[in-house]
């Protein structure tokens, strides 16, 4: 019988202590997952305010930074507790939130009310200073998203109050919308410059940034102190593959585990293999075409309305989307509840009516530029080609221009006429969509494409109104202005997103661009 003395045991313990921890700890058997995307972000940053209106960035940023009030990605995006465990109305200008205790940022520090207040303060949202001076687009989005925010007051380390300058029935929605994510004050202040912060934000999400290579890859590592439980993936990697064929072939060959932005005509081909499946469907986002009302051929609103009547949206849905989406009732969603305007439709397809409007407006066939990206949106080029032919049939001379990036699309040095865009309901009220785009602080007005005095006045009134019936009537009038009287855009169809993946991975797609890689949605 082998006898071991106390001295031997002590020696063995010291020897074990001298070994690297990895040698004696249980091996990390979690998988590394690679996701092929058309684009990681539009601005080459991970700043959620700068990327607030970006469809692709929603896929990645929700794994890094989080909201006080979350959205149920496995349900219908209803509001759920996240970094706040509870919230209540104090009055029509004030919402109080109770923060979740023990939440750790990626740098190991605890999230407190100080970080929440900082995330909505001037240094982070409305200007900055010195090396942290914010790009002009950041405070512009902040003012659009929070037009009347007075302050976020600290009640105690785990309680905050959002205080508005005016009444606002949508405050809870704004708190739950992209752009309101919480960041570490310490992490922001430690970054040498704003761009350093923006490419490696310190958040509370289940994954933290290891490396971001703009226009190439984003590598995230598990944040094992995550309040929501140990993340199921060790390393999560997003890879840009702009071409559909590259994403599909990479998935089928085993290079990728997921491939995003799959066109409907590729779904059947992918699912021929029992190893793969495609998930997804319609989301709270509409594909639209925006007008620049200042283009000489588009100054008369009858020309813009004619362009809407010339389109057969259902034909696009049937032919390019295999019927997997729909032509929606204008720029709205049933998600709005009692704010939804029943009976409203997009201008019906009527080529004869379009021709009459063009004749009455005196349109003489002048060329109208139409700027698009190379399939930034699913089936974007094929959709644009179909639209050009539909407009040609009505007598419109639309010239297609394919651009490499959004800077070229928005370039004012060349005549602007039409451009592709999309619009999302970031929370359950028209303030998040039609006002966010067409209001006085809206995206279209900020780039100088469109404005309407009555619309601007309605936006201000509806923003501060607490009368639900009156607000709904105002929204109905907004739809009439923006889609009939003085068209700002054309709604083409509701957007849909489809993600292909390995069938052996147990994961469910959300009804959004966002991809949920938390423990509850894995395995």
| Helix or strand run (H / E) with residue 445 | helix 443-446
Residue range 256-266: mean pLDDT, rounded: 96
Assigned domain for 368 exists? yes
Q: Tell me how far CA of residue 146 lies from CA of 77, 141, 194, 431, in angstroms.
A: 21, 8, 21, 11
Q: In whole angstroms, how far apart are CA 84 and each of 62, 111, 116, 222, 499?
A: 16, 11, 10, 22, 30
190 with 129, same domain: the answer is yes
- 57 and 171 co-located in one domain: yes
Higher pLDDT, 172 or 2: 172
Instruction: For residues 243 and 385, state if they share a domain.
Output: no
Do residues 290 and 157 both lie within one domain?
A: no
HSE value, Cβ hemisphere, 13 Å, CA-based, for 131: 10
CATH number at residue 451: 3.10.105.10
- In the prediction, which pLDDT does 20 show? 45
Instruction: Tell me how far apart the 2 most distant CA atoms of the chain are, in Å.
Output: 108
Nearest Cα to Cα of residue 141 among 116, 165, 166, 177: 177
Residue 263 lies in a domain: no
171 in Cβ contact with 429 (< 8 Å) = no
Confidence of residue 113 (pLDDT cuts 50, 70, 90): very high
Whether residues 217 and 320 share a domain: the answer is no
The tokens of 240 are what? 């840009």
User: What is the distance between the alpha carbons of residues 51 and 40, in angstroms, rounded to a whole number?
Assistant: 11
Alpha-carbon Rg for the chain, nearest whole angstrom, is 25
- Are 240 and 373 within one domain? no
For residues 343 and 450, membership in a common domain is answered with yes
pLDDT at 129: 78
**Residue 306 covered by a domain:** yes
Q: What is the pLDDT of residues 337-351, one digit of tens each?
A: 999 999 999 999 999
SS3 (DSSP) at 24: helix
Q: Which domain holds residue 38?
A: 32-248+505-521
When divided into structural domains, the chain yields a total of: 2
Q: Indicate whether 11 pLDDT > 50.
A: no
pLDDT at 17 over 80: no
The whole-number average pLDDT for the span 468-490 is 98
Q: Which two tokens stand for residue 282?
A: 């319609």
pLDDT digits (tens, 9 = 90+) for 179-209: 999 999 999 999 999 999 999 999 999 999 9
- Mean pLDDT across 58-82: 95
Residue range 443-465: mean pLDDT, rounded: 95
Average pLDDT estimate for 278-306 = 97
Tell how strand 368-373 and strand 398-403 pair up: parallel
* CA 253 vs CA 247, 266, 502: distances in Å: 10, 16, 11
Question: Average pLDDT of 439-448?
Answer: 90
| Burial degree of 501 (CB within 10 A; 0-12, 13-18, 19+) | buried
How confident is the model at residue 115, as a pLDDT?
98
Q: Assess whether pLDDT exceeds 70 at residue 295.
A: yes
pLDDT tens-digit series, residues 124-141: 999 877 778 999 989 999
**pLDDT band at 3; cut points 50, 70, 90:** very low
| Residues making up the chain, counted from first to last | 523
Tens digits of per-residue pLDDT, 143-155? 999 999 999 999 9
pLDDT score, position 53: 66
First CA to last CA across the chain, in angstroms?
A: 47
Alpha-carbon distance of 426 to 178, in angstroms, equals 7
Residues 467, 366 share a domain: yes
Asked if pLDDT for residue 448 goes beyond 50, the answer is yes
291, 241: one domain: no
pLDDT in tens, 355-399: 999 999 999 999 999 999 998 999 999 999 999 999 999 999 999
Q: Do the domain assignments include residue 267?
A: no
Residue 21 pLDDT grade (very low, low, confident, very high; cuts 50, 70, 90): very low
How far is CA 7 from each of CA 4, 11, 216, rounded to the nearest angstrom?
Answer: 8, 6, 57
Q: Tell me if 76 sits within 8 A of 60, measured CB to CB.
A: no
Asked whether residue 13 is domain-assigned, the answer is no
With respect to residue 146, please indicate whether it lies within any of the assigned structural domains. Answer: yes
Question: Which three-class secondary structure state does DSSP give residue 35?
Answer: strand
Q: Return d(Cα 139, Cα 66) in angstroms, integer.
A: 20
Cα–Cα distance measured from residue 503 to residue 274, given in angstroms and rounded to the nearest whole number: 7
Backbone phi, then psi, for 51, in 5-degree steps?
-100, 15
Question: What is the band of 8 on the pLDDT scale with cuts at 50, 70, 90?
Answer: very low
Query: Both 289 and 389 in a single domain?
Result: yes
Residue 19 pLDDT grade (very low, low, confident, very high; cuts 50, 70, 90):
very low
Give residue 2's pLDDT.
Answer: 36
- Is the domain of 38 the same as that of 162? yes
What pTM value is reported for the model?
Answer: 0.91
Q: Is residue 26 one of the residues assigned to a domain?
A: no
pLDDT-derived band of residue 50, with 50, 70 and 90 as boundaries?
confident
Residue 61 within a domain: yes
- pLDDT tens-place string over residues 83-100: 999 999 999 999 999 999
Share the mean pLDDT of the chain.
93
pLDDT above 90 covers what percent of the chain? 88
Same domain flag for 319 and 215? no
* Count of alpha carbons within 13 angstroms of residue 300, beta-carbon side: 13
- DSSP per-residue codes, 302-330: HHHHHHHHT--HHHHHHHHSTTSS---SS
CATH number at residue 64: 3.40.190.10
């Amino acid at each position: 019988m082998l006898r071991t003395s106390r001295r031997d045991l002590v020696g063995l313990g010291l020897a074990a202590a001298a070994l690297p921890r990895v040698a004696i700890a249980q091996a990390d058997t979690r998988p590394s997952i690679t996701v092929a995307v058309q684009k990681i972000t539009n601005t080459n940053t991970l700043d959620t305010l700068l990327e607030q209106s970006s469809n692709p960035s929603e896929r990645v940023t929700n794994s890094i930074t989080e909201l006080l009030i979350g959205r149920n990605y496995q349900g219908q995006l209803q509001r759920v507790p996240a970094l706040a465990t509870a919230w209540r109305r104090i009055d029509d200008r004030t919402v109080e939130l109770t923060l979740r205790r023990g939440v750790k940022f990626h740098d190991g520090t605890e999230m407190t009310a100080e970080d929440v207040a900082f995330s909505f303060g001037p240094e982070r949202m409305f200007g900055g200073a010195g090396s942290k001076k914010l790009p002009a687009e950041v405070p512009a989005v902040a003012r659009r998203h929070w037009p009347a925010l007075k302050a976020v007051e600290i009640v105690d380390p785990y309680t905050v109050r959002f205080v508005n300058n005016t009444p606002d029935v949508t405050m809870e929605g704004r708190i739950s919308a992209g752009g309101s994510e919480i960041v570490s004050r310490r992490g922001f202040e430690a970054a040498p410059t704003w761009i350093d912060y923006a490419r490696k934000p310190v958040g509370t999400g289940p994954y933290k940034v290891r490396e971001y290579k703009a226009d190439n890859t984003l590598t995230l590592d598990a944040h094992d102190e995550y309040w929501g439980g140990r993340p199921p993936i060790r390393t999560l990697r997003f890879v840009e593959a702009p071409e559909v064929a590259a994403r599909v072939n990479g998935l089928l060959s085993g290079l990728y585990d997921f491939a995003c932005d799959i066109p409907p005509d590729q779904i059947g081909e992918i699912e021929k293999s029992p190893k793969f499946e495609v998930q997804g469907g319609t989301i709270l986002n509409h594909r639209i075409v925006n007008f620049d009302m200042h283009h000489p051929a588009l100054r008369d609103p009858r020309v813009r309305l004619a362009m809407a009547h010339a389109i057969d949206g259902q034909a696009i849905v049937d032919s390019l989307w295999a019927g997997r989406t729909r032509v929606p009732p204008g720029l709205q969603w049933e998600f709005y509840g009692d704010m939804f305007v029943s009976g409203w439709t997009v201008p019906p397809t009527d080529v004869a009516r379009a021709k009459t409007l063009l004749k009455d407006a005196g349109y003489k066939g002048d060329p109208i530029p139409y700027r698009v990206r190379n399939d930034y949106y699913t089936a974007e080029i094929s959709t644009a080609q179909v639209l050009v032919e539909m407009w040609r049939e009505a007598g419109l001379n639309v010239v297609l221009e394919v651009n490499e990036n959004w800077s070229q699309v928005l370039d004012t040095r060349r005549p602007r006429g039409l451009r592709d865009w999309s619009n999302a309901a970031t929370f359950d009220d028209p303030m998040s969509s039609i006002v966010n785009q067409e209001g006085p602080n809206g995206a279209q007005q900020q780039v100088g494409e469109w404005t309407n005095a009555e619309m601007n006045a309605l936006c201000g009134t509806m923003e501060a109104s607490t009368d639900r019936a009156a607000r709904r009537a105002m929204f109905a009038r907004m739809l009439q202005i923006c889609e009939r009287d003085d068209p700002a855009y054309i709604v083409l169809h509701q957007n849909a997103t489809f993600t292909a993946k390995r069938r052996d991975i147990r994961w469910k797609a959300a009804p959004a661009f966002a991809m949920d890689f938390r423990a509850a949605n894995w395995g």
